[in-house]
Structure 1
Amino acid sequence: MNQTLDVLIAGAGPTGTTLAIDLLRRGLAVRIVDKAPHAFEGSRAKGLQPRTLEVFDDLGVLDDVLAGSSDYPRLGIHLGPVTVPWRMFRHRERTDDVPYPNTRLMPQYRTDSVLHDRLGQLGGRVEHGRELTGFAQDDTSVTATVLGDRGPERITARYLVGADGGAGAVRKHLGVGFLGETDDQDRMLIVDAVTTGLSRTRWHVWPGGKGRFVGACPLPHTDLFQWMIRLSPGEEPPAGEEAITRRIRAHTRNRAVAVHDIRWRSVFRPNIRLAETYRRGRVFLAGDAAHVHTPAGAQGLNTGIQDAHNLGWKLGQVLAGAGARLLDSYEAERLPIAAGVLGLSTKKYEGLAKLDPSSLRRGKDEQQLSLTYHGGPLAPAGTDRTTTLRAGDRAPDAGWAGSRLFDAYRGPHFTLVAYGPEAAAASDQLAWPAAGAPLRRLTTGEHGFRRSYGIVGDTLLLVRPDGYIGHIATRDFLESTRAAVRTMAPGVTG
């Protein structure tokens, strides 16, 4: 008889692999399957936002991500014989509370590779060429049928997560509606290719009439450009080096440009869709399986990674004995975020068609540092707060004991931070269960922490494993914190 897994994940892109990493480091039994015969080879989603960099720091992959990426180049907007320089992102210096303030550029195949390497370090592996074709669930488990070279296999798991993309099987098998629209007449050819006759110091854009444009972004640490060619309605997408070169030259009027050695090619249609629910029973949706975006603003991949970071610790806690209602908070927290991000990326994409310069500018909204779960089931309104933070907000970085708070937060644990003697005494008295995520207790009186967290007096803060504030107590330290912990941990009674 097959052993029952804790979690089966369908889809080994950034979302599914992030989830598998988080679950494996919690000691859970996990398998991750993907119907593709090998890892993804294209650049596709290439922007990594500051909040995602913080997730990568937590997962232990940030050094590899920084080594394989770069800051975004300036745009060069070609208007006939004139090239107008344009900075998409304002360069920001790191601060005590935001250590990674700038969006990074890295092709998706390299992001996948870094995450797959980390998965391997934890003893996991992606099972490529394995397609989930169906499943059934009951009150205790999900049994999926997975088809591979050796025929069908039945895999039983306590939970199933569909991270298998906008056309994936899990959402379709659940019968969950995918609300929104797809404009089949609005298509973009994306090509990764070696390119001659073009400077690598700029992200080149050639605007055109009726929103048609051609763009070429140099991919860092490679000799490749990602070409983006917005096609006319009814236009047959060119294929092959010569045809694509002719199409580019016809638009840019630059006879020196040529593409060679095409590594990847895809025709993209801007889907704008949101799943009507993120969960049915023991089956969850994450990433593009739950929400698909336009490419503008570099939001889709980042939102999916943060879906996984939100869901992972909750699955771990419930599998360890926490109340099952904790899993309801996944949709409650993440679906409104995706709805807002869809609106942002759609607005940016529509601006491109109108040649609106503001559509090329990126700011704090895209960086996802200010996203909050305040008012949700784990962060009800009306609880204690500091002068700058509420429960549900991102926990900022700060100096601590000659190091950083993010160093203390890194890992699959909760963190309890006490400022002041009353808060420290309550921290010492708080019982914590042996099952599930452990608790790390910190006591600090440092000015940098006080400034970053808006502290004015004794304060006890509980930081969740995903780096968001789970509770703030400025009075009634022990009892209010204990009540908050009951919603997130197994068997807290004393």
Structure 2
Amino acid sequence: MFSESKFTVIVGAGPTGLTLARQLQRHGVPFRIVEKASALFDGSRGKGLQPRTLEVLDDLGVLPRFLEHGGEYPPMLVHRPDGETMTFRMDEHHEPTPSVPHPNSLMVPQWRTGQILAEGVPVEFGVELESLTQDDRGVHLTLGTGERVTARYVVGADGGRSAVRRALGVGFEGETREGEKVRLADVELEGLDREHWHVWPGADQAVRLGLCPLAGTGQFQLHSQILDRPLEELVPGIAPGVTVKNVSWTSVWRPNIRMASRFRVGNVFLAGDAAHVHTPAGGQGLNTGIQDAYNLGWKLATGDDALLDTYEAERLPVAAAVLGISTKLYQKMADRSHDGMRRDDPVLKQLSLSYRGGPLASEHRPEPGALQAGDRAPDAPLNDGRRVFDLLRGAHATLLTVNWTAAAPDLGVPVHAVDEAAEIYDVRGPTLLLVRPDNYLGCVTSSVEDVTAYLKVLAG
């Protein structure tokens, strides 16, 4: 028999699943998170956190831990075949601005990201999903432990080989390039400085060896297109004087470029790599998964079917666009383009990601400014020493008022006058800006009635 319950089951305890668990925790939603592995992932694989993801982590209250253990990407030092070297940056250092407090990517090895996100999250390790069905009573799961449970919702955050996606029969369209394999490893070295990301290209510009110092650790991430030599021989053979002292993780990566045809089937949802897998170019995959969870978590908390439909409506187009960006960047690298390693496209920061025109973007101004409903709510300094992000932090929607001279409306959500933010928010007249729980502008208007109606949608 299946035991009956109304909790949510998260399958997979990678960054996506753990972010979702944290979202559900702060919304007071009961959940279980199961992971078939016996422990958290222990490799560095996805090591770049984009500026928008840093804002998500700030909202979740864990950013200080990431800043403590992470660091900026170092300049690349290319050791050319002719014996000369050249130095360049993938992207220049950017200074914080009033609207963007975290303008640079932060390097944090994936194992550390998982470790921090898992703090206080009751992950059930060694628990595999064996089968999944659903009917009008709920979603029925059989676990590898023999336990059978019924959940209200299930979220598959279990990676590119997702058991949840397979159980749903959802297509995973795209390609796997078996002929373009790359070796990855986390290694401890002697004889190499940690001030640079070292790269040794061949005469054809293919990367024979890359060694990137992993911020907050004593390790380097190794990547190489040479697969048939022991690392202890490969490294000194290409980089004389450099010795491999220890290898803690190793893997062979192949470009997977795929996306699920649906992100929701009944009361089962797909997120992260279970919904879309990317090349590592541009550091988009892990970040997109975290933001899937950030979008889905507060909607699960409402339990509203129509609102939950907006998860796929909002996130599937985003995933498709990001997949296109990362694939284009990877192809430039594969084609040995002269700027194949540049990562200065502002789109990669994911700050310009918008849900404009989507089902939850309610723009009522006849002449909206540069910032519109569906866009990210930017930061801004306030006269009392706080910032807009301080007001938004938490599980709630927030109403911001600009140039509002009437009494502040009492609508059951925090209300803050932020006239100082008028320029950053490009607001000219009296304006109400209802910010969603995931800190995107939901409703922008000069009418209290518009906000009241929008809040009813958010409440489900």
TM-score tier (shorter)? over 0.9
Q: 2:401 aligns with which of 418, 424, 429?
A: 418
The equivalent residue for 2:22 is 21
**Are 1:478 and 2:448 counterparts?**
yes
The equivalent residue for 2:62 is 61
Q: Give the distance between the partners of 1:76 and 1:385, measured in 2 at CA.
A: 49
The equivalent residue for 1:104 is 106
SS at match of 2:324: helix
Q: Give the distance between the partners of 2:175 and 2:437, measured in 1 at CA.
A: 35
C-alpha displacement at 1:90, in angstroms?
1.1
The equivalent residue for 2:331 is 350
CA contact (8 A) 1:177 1:276 kept: yes
Percent sequence identity over matched residues?
49
Q: Deviations along 1:54-90, whole A, 9 cap, x unmatched?
A: 0000111000000010011001112121111011121
The equivalent residue for 1:277 is 262
CA contact (8 A) 1:391 1:469 kept: yes
The equivalent residue for 2:343 is 362
C-alpha displacement at 1:208, in angstroms?
2.3
The equivalent residue for 2:283 is 298
SS at match of 2:296: helix
SS at match of 2:423: helix
**Are 1:330 and 2:341 counterparts?**
no
C-alpha displacement at 1:465, in angstroms?
0.7
Which has the higher mean CA deviation after the structures are superposed, 204-213 or 279-288? 204-213
CA contact (8 A) 2:404 2:431 kept: no
Q: Give the distance between the partners of 2:271 and 2:19, measured in 1 at CA.
A: 11
Q: Give the distance between the partners of 2:330 and 2:438, measured in 1 at CA.
A: 30
**Are 1:262 and 2:247 counterparts?**
yes
**1:48 is aligned with what amino acid?**
L
Q: 2:217 aligns with which of 216, 219, 222?
A: 222
The equivalent residue for 2:74 is 73
C-alpha displacement at 1:484, in angstroms?
2.2
The equivalent residue for 2:84 is 82
Q: Give the distance between the partners of 2:67 and 2:192, measured in 1 at CA.
A: 25
The equivalent residue for 1:157 is 151
The equivalent residue for 1:465 is 437
Q: 1:92 aligns with which of 94, 100, 105?
A: 94
Q: 1:452 aligns with which of 424, 433, 448?
A: 424
**1:478 is aligned with what amino acid?**
V
**2:84 is aligned with what amino acid?**
V
The equivalent residue for 2:358 is 376
The equivalent residue for 1:436 is none
**Alignment map for 1:379-394 (pairs within 5 Å):** 379=361, 386-394=368-376
Q: 1:443 aligns with which of 410, 417, 425?
A: 417
C-alpha displacement at 1:206, in angstroms?
1.6
Q: Give the distance between the partners of 2:67 and 2:166, measured in 1 at CA.
A: 36
Q: Give the distance between the partners of 1:51 and 1:385, measured in 2 at CA.
A: 27
**1:141 is aligned with what amino acid?**
G
Q: Give the distance between the partners of 1:39 and 1:178, measured in 2 at CA.
A: 25
The equivalent residue for 2:459 is 489
* Ranges in structure 2 where 5+ consecutive residues have no aligned partner: none
- Normalised to the residue count of structure 1, the TM-score between the two structures is 0.89
Give the direction of change, closer, same or farther, for the CA distance of 1:483–1:111 in structure 2 (3 Å limit). Answer: same
C-alpha displacement at 1:210, in angstroms?
5.2
Q: Deviations along 1:66-124, whole A, 9 cap, x unmatched?
A: 0010011001112121111011121111111001111000100000011011xx1xxx3
**2:397 is aligned with what amino acid?**
F
Q: 2:123 aligns with which of 122, 126, 151?
A: 126
Q: Deviations along 1:448-492, whole A, 9 cap, x unmatched?
A: x1111011110000000111000100x3x11222232232214xx
**Alignment map for 1:109-258 (pairs within 5 Å):** 109-117=111-119, 120=120, 124-147=121-144, 151-209=145-203, 212-213=206-207, 214-231=209-226, 237-238=228-229, 243-250=230-237, 252=238, 254-258=239-243
* Ranges in structure 1 where 5+ consecutive residues have no aligned partner: 433-438
**Are 1:310 and 2:295 counterparts?**
yes
Q: Give the distance between the partners of 2:458 and 2:362, measured in 1 at CA.
A: 14
CA contact (8 A) 1:141 1:156 kept: yes
**Are 1:287 and 2:272 counterparts?**
yes
Q: Deviations along 1:194-247, whole A, 9 cap, x unmatched?
A: 01222111011122255631211001122211000124xxxx544xxxx21322
C-alpha displacement at 1:140, in angstroms?
4.1
SS at match of 1:57: helix
CA contact (8 A) 2:404 2:417 kept: no
Q: Give the distance between the partners of 1:384 and 1:271, measured in 2 at CA.
A: 44
C-alpha displacement at 1:139, in angstroms?
2.4
CA contact (8 A) 1:47 1:105 kept: yes
**In proportion to residue count, which structure has more helix?**
1
Give the direction of change, closer, same or farther, for the CA distance of 1:325–1:140 in structure 2 (3 Å limit). Answer: farther
CA contact (8 A) 2:396 2:437 kept: yes
Q: What is the count of residue pairs matched by the alignment?
A: 455
Q: Give the distance between the partners of 1:359 and 1:157, measured in 2 at CA.
A: 46
Which has the higher mean CA deviation after the structures are superposed, 87-96 or 137-146? 137-146
Q: Give the distance between the partners of 1:12 and 1:341, measured in 2 at CA.
A: 23
Give the direction of change, closer, same or farther, for the CA distance of 1:245–1:354 in structure 2 (3 Å limit). Answer: farther
C-alpha displacement at 1:362, in angstroms?
1.4
CA contact (8 A) 1:245 1:257 kept: no
CA contact (8 A) 2:332 2:340 kept: yes
Q: Give the distance between the partners of 1:272 and 1:210, measured in 2 at CA.
A: 25
**Alignment map for 1:28-43 (pairs within 5 Å):** 28-43=29-44
Q: Give the distance between the partners of 2:235 and 2:161, measured in 1 at CA.
A: 30
Q: Give the distance between the partners of 2:26 and 2:367, measured in 1 at CA.
A: 31
Q: Give the distance between the partners of 1:114 and 1:305, measured in 2 at CA.
A: 13
Q: Give the distance between the partners of 2:15 and 2:292, measured in 1 at CA.
A: 11
Give the direction of change, closer, same or farther, for the CA distance of 1:478–1:112 in structure 2 (3 Å limit). Answer: same
